[in-house]
Chain A
Amino acid sequence: MLSVRALEFDYADSDFALAIESLEVAAGEKVAVIGPSGSGKTTLLNLASGIIKSERGSITVADTQIERLSDAQRRDFRINNIGFVFQDFELIDYLNVFDNIIHPYRISRALKLTAGVKQRARELAGRADIGDKLGRYTGELSQGEKQRVAICRALLPGPKLVFADEATGNLDPRNKGRILDLLFDSVAEHGATLLAVTHDHELLPRFDRVVDFLQFHAPGPT
C-alpha cells in the first residue's frame, strides 16, 4: 500500500533532514510510527499524502508514485485515497460538529456531498459517541470529543490509507483506548491501512508492526 524508497528530504533554513532508504507498509497493515520529536514522523505523513513534495527518492501509495503528480493531482489523490487525522485536530471553529465532519465535501470538487454522505456522517458520529453533539461548535467539546470529530472527518470518504498523527496525544488513558478502538474498528471495516504516529509505548502492542524513526534521521546539511 505504501512504499518509500531512497527518500531524502530537508527543509530550507533548517538542520532537519530525513533519509529513508526503504519502508514498506502492506495493505490492511496497522503500523505504529515512533521516534523522538523532530525525527521526521509528521514529515513522512505529509510527504506520503502529497501535502509537501520531495525532490529526491520516491513514495508510492496504492500504486501511484506521488512525486510524479502535479499539485492538483496530488490534492485529488489525497482526497480520494488518504484520510488524515492531524495533530491538534485542526477543526474549524466556526462550524459545528456535523459541518466539520463533512467539511472536505464542501471545499473539494473531487467529493460530492449527497444525502447518503450526510447519513453516513451521522452514523459515523453515532459510532464515535458524538451523535448527540452534531449541532455543537467544536469550542464546546472536550479534547477526546474533538479527536473523535477529527477521526470521523478523516474516515468519512472511506480512505484506503489512514494517517493518524499523534491521535491519542494529550488524552487521558480511557479516551486513548476509545480513540484507538474507533480507529482500529473503522480501518478494519473499510479494509484500510493505518499508519499512526504515537509517543505512547503502552499502545504499541495493539499494532501489527512498529517503525522506529531513529533509524531514518540523517545528519542535517552543513
Chain B
Amino acid sequence: MHALFLAWQYLVFNKLRSLTLVACVTLIAVLPLSLEVLLDESERQLLSRAQSTPLLLGARRSALDLVMNALYFDDEVPELISMLAVDELLAMDLAEPLPLYTRFNARDFPIVGTTLDYFDFRGLKLAQGRQMAVLGEIVLGASVAESLNLKPGDNLLSSPQTVFDLAGIYPLKMKVVGLLERSHTPDDLAVFADVKTTWVIEGLGHGHQDVSQLTDETLIMQRSEKGVVASPKLFQYNEITADNIDSFHFHGDAAEYPLTAVIVIPDDTRSSTILRGRYLEAAGMHQVVLPEKVIDGLLQNIFRIKNVLDAVVVLVGTATLLALLLVFALSLRLRQRELHTIFKLGCSRATTVYLLAAEILIIGLIAGALCVALLYVVDGYSSDLVRTLFIN
C-alpha cells in the first residue's frame, strides 16, 4: 500500500509526464480495439442490410456502386436505368419491383425517390405525421429530422445540382408530412419522397400558369390551333401546393423516366433463380445482383486492408512501447539521486522495484480504465459512427 501511495504521489507531482505516458498507453490500446469494434459493426450493418435485400436490378456497370447507392444511399450515383426496367419486371410476373431514384440531396441528406411499398419492405414505421400522399410531400428518417430539427408541417428545399448551371436543376420546396421511427439503418439518414417527386426535382415534371389563359403576350412564343408554346419567361412553380398541384404534369414517355436501381423481391426461390438467369446475358443493358455477395466481396477487401492496418498498428505500438521504455529508463537516470536517498534511508532493492512497478501499474490501470471507457463510448456510438465514417 505504501508503494502505491508513494507511486501515486510521484505521478501526481509529475502530472505532465504521467498524463503523456497514460495518453500514449491508452492510444496504443484503444486504436486497434476501436478499429476492431467499428469493423465488426460495419460488417454487421453492411451484411444485415444486404441480407435483407434479395436482389437488385441496375445498369450493367459497377455492381458495388449499384449496391452502395441503393442500399446505403452512397453519393456515387450508378449508371441510370429507366422505368422500362420496372415494366419488364412486372411483365415477367416473378417478383415485386421497388423503384429507387437516389440522385438528389437536401442539405447533404440523400433524397430517396421510391414507392410506399419500400416502407413495408424495410419495416419502417412512422413516429409522427402521416405517409406521403401527393407530389412534393416527403417523409424524413429519424436522424435527418433530428439533425435539421424538422417536424411535420415544415418545408425542406432540395439542393441545386450546381449553383453555376443556370439551366440545371432548381430546388424544389418539399413539405414534410411524416417522421420515421429510428431504425438504426441508413434509412435514418434519408429523405423519402415519391419517385415522381424526384422526377419533378429533375425537371421532367413541372407546374406553371395555364398557358391557354395567358394574357401577357411576352410569355407566348407561338399560338396555333394545335396549342400554345410558352416562352422561357413563363413562371414555373418551385413548390407544390394544393392550389397549383393540378398544373403539374410530366413530359415525354414515362417508361423512359430515370431510376438508379430497382429492388427486386422475387415471389420465391425459383423465381429468383429464373430472374437471375434472364439477366445473365452480357449483351443486356441491365444486371441483377445479389447484394449479399457484392458486400461479401467488399468485406473481404476491407479485411485484407485491416490486416495491413493491424500490422501497422503493431509496428507503431511496438515503437511507442520502446519509446516509453526509453522515457522510463531516462527518468530512472534522472531519479538516481532520489533512489540513492531512499537506499540510504533504508529502502531495499526489492522495495525500490515495488515502487517503480507501482508507478507502471497505476499508469497501466488508468490507461486501461480510459481504454475501457473509450471503447464503451465507441461501442455505444458504433452504429452511427460506421454509417458516418464508412458507409456514407
Report the interface size for chain A: residues with CB under 8 A from the other chain. 26
Residues of B contacting A78 with CB < 8 Å?
A: 346
- Supposing A107-B345, A109-B351 touch, asked if A92 and B338 sit within 8 A by C-beta, the answer is yes
Residues of B contacting A107 with CB < 8 Å?
A: 2, 6, 342, 345-347, 351, 355
- Supposing A103-B345, A108-B346 touch, asked if A93 and B2 sit within 8 A by C-beta, the answer is no
Q: Does A120 contact B (CB under 8 A)?
A: no
Contact check, B13 vs A93: say whether CB atoms are below 8 A apart.
yes
* Complex: A193 Cα to B79 Cα, angstroms: 99
Contact check, A94 vs B346: say whether CB atoms are below 8 A apart.
no
Choose from B2, B14, B344, B347 the contact partner of A90 (Cβ within 8 Å): B344
Q: Does A110 contact B (CB under 8 A)?
A: yes
- Supposing A75-B348, A108-B347 touch, asked if A113 and B2 sit within 8 A by C-beta, the answer is yes
Q: Does A16 contact B (CB under 8 A)?
A: no
* Complex: A93 Cα to B345 Cα, angstroms: 15
Within the complex, the shortest CB–CB distance from A161 to chain B, in Å, comes to 15
Residues of B contacting A72 with CB < 8 Å?
A: 348
Within the complex, the shortest CB–CB distance from B3 to chain A, in Å, comes to 8
Q: Does B250 contact A (CB under 8 A)?
A: no
Choose from A86, A108, A111, A137 the contact partner of B341 (Cβ within 8 Å): A86
Q: Does A104 contact B (CB under 8 A)?
A: yes
Q: Nearest chain-A residue to B1 (Cβ)?
A: A106
Contact check, B9 vs A108: say whether CB atoms are below 8 A apart.
no
Most buried by B among A49, A95, A110, A111: A95
Contact check, A108 vs B351: say whether CB atoms are below 8 A apart.
yes
Most buried by B among A72, A86, A106: A106
Residues of A contacting B348 with CB < 8 Å?
A: 72, 75, 108-109
Residues of A contacting B355 with CB < 8 Å?
A: 107
Residues of A contacting B14 with CB < 8 Å?
A: 94
- Supposing A106-B6, A108-B351 touch, asked if A79 and B344 sit within 8 A by C-beta, the answer is no
Which B328-347 residues have C-beta < 8 A from chain A? 337-338, 341-347
* Complex: A111 Cα to B343 Cα, angstroms: 14
Residues of A contacting B343 with CB < 8 Å?
A: 51
Contact check, A75 vs B341: say whether CB atoms are below 8 A apart.
no
Q: Does B5 contact A (CB under 8 A)?
A: yes
* Complex: A90 Cα to B2 Cα, angstroms: 20
Q: Does A84 contact B (CB under 8 A)?
A: yes
Residues of B contacting A166 with CB < 8 Å?
A: none
* Complex: A103 Cα to B348 Cα, angstroms: 14
Q: Nearest chain-A residue to B350 (Cβ)?
A: A109
Residues of B contacting A108 with CB < 8 Å?
A: 345-348, 351
Contact check, B346 vs A79: say whether CB atoms are below 8 A apart.
yes
B 313-329 binary contact with A (CB < 8 Å = 1; else 0) = 00000000000000000
- Which range holds the interface residue count of chain B? 20 to 34
Choose from B6, B9, B10, B346 the contact partner of A104 (Cβ within 8 Å): B346
* Complex: A132 Cα to B355 Cα, angstroms: 29
Within the complex, the shortest CB–CB distance from A27 to chain B, in Å, comes to 22
* Complex: A103 Cα to B6 Cα, angstroms: 9
* Complex: A47 Cα to B337 Cα, angstroms: 19
Q: Does A67 contact B (CB under 8 A)?
A: no
Residues of A contacting B2 with CB < 8 Å?
A: 106-107, 113
* Complex: A84 Cα to B347 Cα, angstroms: 14
Q: Nearest chain-B residue to A106 (Cβ)?
A: B2
Within the complex, the shortest CB–CB distance from B354 to chain A, in Å, comes to 9
Within the complex, the shortest CB–CB distance from A83 to chain B, in Å, comes to 10
Within the complex, the shortest CB–CB distance from B11 to chain A, in Å, comes to 9
Residues of A contacting B344 with CB < 8 Å?
A: 49, 51, 84, 86, 90
* Complex: A111 Cα to B345 Cα, angstroms: 11
- Supposing A107-B346, A110-B346 touch, asked if A94 and B13 sit within 8 A by C-beta, the answer is yes
* Complex: A95 Cα to B21 Cα, angstroms: 21
Within the complex, the shortest CB–CB distance from B331 to chain A, in Å, comes to 12
Q: Nearest chain-B residue to A103 (Cβ)?
A: B345
Residues of A contacting B346 with CB < 8 Å?
A: 75-76, 78-79, 104, 107-108, 110-111
Contact check, B5 vs A106: say whether CB atoms are below 8 A apart.
yes
* Complex: A192 Cα to B197 Cα, angstroms: 101
* Complex: A90 Cα to B346 Cα, angstroms: 14
Residues of B contacting A104 with CB < 8 Å?
A: 345-346
Contact check, B9 vs A94: say whether CB atoms are below 8 A apart.
yes
A 140-166 binary contact with B (CB < 8 Å = 1; else 0) = 000000000000010000000000000
Q: Nearest chain-B residue to A84 (Cβ)?
A: B344
Choose from B5, B12, B341, B351 the contact partner of A92 (Cβ within 8 Å): B341
Which residues of A pack against B, CB within 8 Å? 49, 51, 72, 75-76, 78-79, 84, 86, 90, 92-95, 99, 103-104, 106-111, 113, 137, 153
Closest 7 CB pairs of A and B: A94-B13, A79-B346, A107-B347, A108-B346, A106-B2, A90-B341, A104-B345
- 16 A-B residue pairs with CB within 8 Å: A51-B343, A86-B341, A86-B344, A90-B344, A92-B341, A92-B342, A94-B13, A95-B9, A106-B2, A107-B342, A107-B345, A107-B346, A108-B348, A109-B348, A109-B351, A111-B346
Which residues of B pack against A, CB within 8 Å? 2, 5-6, 9-10, 12-14, 337-338, 341-348, 351, 355
Given pairs A92-B342, A107-B342, 12 additional interface contacts (CB within 8 A): A51-B343, A72-B348, A76-B346, A79-B345, A84-B345, A92-B338, A93-B13, A94-B10, A108-B346, A108-B351, A113-B2, A153-B345
